[in-house]
Amino acid sequence: MKNGTSIALLSIALSFTFFTSVAQATQGSEADISAFLNAEKADANKLINAYISPGIKALSYGMAGGWFTTGATHKLGGFDVGVSVSAVMLPTSEETFDPTKLGLSSNTVPSSNIAPTVVGPRPPQSANPYANYTFVNNGVTIASVPGPGGLDLKNSIGSNTVPVPMFQVGIGLIKSTDLKIRLLPEQKFGDSKAKMFGIGLMHDIKQYFKGVKVLPFDLSVLAAYNSISGSTGLTNTNTSQTDGIPSSSDGKSTYSFNSWLFQALISKKLSVVTFYGGVGYGTVSTKADLTGTFTLDNPTPIPASTKLTNPFSTKYSNNGMKLTAGIRLKFGPIYLSGDYTVQKFNVFTAGFGVAFR
């Protein structure tokens, strides 16, 4: 297990090249959150959830971005191909959590009330100013380990944002309806793999209102579904460790995100400039698991070794209203776009592509 790299991929989940390169920056840190498996199951779940949830939530909000850059639908046979990156802006409060407020049992003893989340700071290797943990079983200390550091996004990429890239194709159908498709065949990065599929329908509703369809703006509705799934290997064959980090020959993290988006869209074109906006509701469900058998090699003989099978499983759900406003510049078939979405975690999305009516 490469000192937090695999667990970081679990929490960020989308194993695109960007996240792989950022996760590699955590190699060499002194702790791995698999050490939380030394705790009682309820405590381990609370600690892992607190650590990974900001990354999960960030991706959840980011994956719903970039679906539209105009409220106008294609003519029959028209199409567009575009790439976008949604930068999810995380508040400072998501960088750390307080382990003393998680309701942990008396057998899990944190040394501090400040601990980094996966998107938070990375402690220096020479000293860990954040929470260390002592795990106790029947009065015997099973493991004393430093808490894991985060990806340290502020230093890694210059800001506390999580970028979520997307590739999308739109095709004009009958009745002023666009079919939108997102597809990423399974991609492999070392022992990680991920794939994506999304589908949406955008339909012009001005055509149904006699007094509205002659007005100089476009009005549509959008319904879209997006799914991301993947896994990361968590193998660690070093069985001689006495640092509380478990060994595993078949350990793996798996994750899946499923989002739905419903929005009303409006846009106004002025020469090469299109102003667009949308208001609606989005929901995301997430499932993340650690599967396989993990052996805890403890520094004390009581117990000498403990095997855990499929030790962690969690589900998240995010939902809420969202308001988007943006601008698109189109020169011939080529367009550039940028928009800002107000929701629990605000998102800025930038994109470019080609579009033929």
Give CA torsion, residues 86, 164, 352, 76, to 10 deg: -100
Q: What pLDDT, on the 0 to 100 scale, is given for residue 11? A: 39
pLDDT score of 16: 41
- Dist CA 322 CA 45 (whole Å): 30
Q: Return d(Cα 45, Cα 206) in angstroms, integer.
A: 50
Strand order, beta sheet including 140-146:
108-110, 132-137, 140-146
Check residue 261 and give its pLDDT: 95
pLDDT at 158 (0 to 100): 77
pLDDT of residue 124: 66
Buried b (16+ CB within 10 A) or exposed e, 121-153: bbbeeeebebbbbebbbeeeebbbbbbbbbbbb
Query: pLDDT 10s digit of each residue in the chain, 357 long?
Result: 333 333 334 434 443 433 443 443 344 344 567 778 888 889 988 998 898 888 888 888 888 889 999 999 999 999 999 999 899 998 889 999 999 999 999 989 998 899 988 888 887 655 566 888 888 877 777 777 788 888 888 887 777 888 888 889 999 999 999 999 998 788 776 777 888 899 999 999 999 988 888 899 999 999 999 998 888 777 777 665 555 667 788 888 888 889 999 999 999 999 999 999 999 999 989 888 888 888 876 554 445 557 888 888 888 888 899 999 999 999 999 999 999 999 989 999 999 999 998
Buried b (16+ CB within 10 A) or exposed e, 30-45: bbbbbbbbbbeeebbb
| Helical (H) or strand (E) element with 255 | strand 252-270
Residue type, 172: G
Q: How far is 120 from 193, CA to CA, in rounded Å?
A: 24
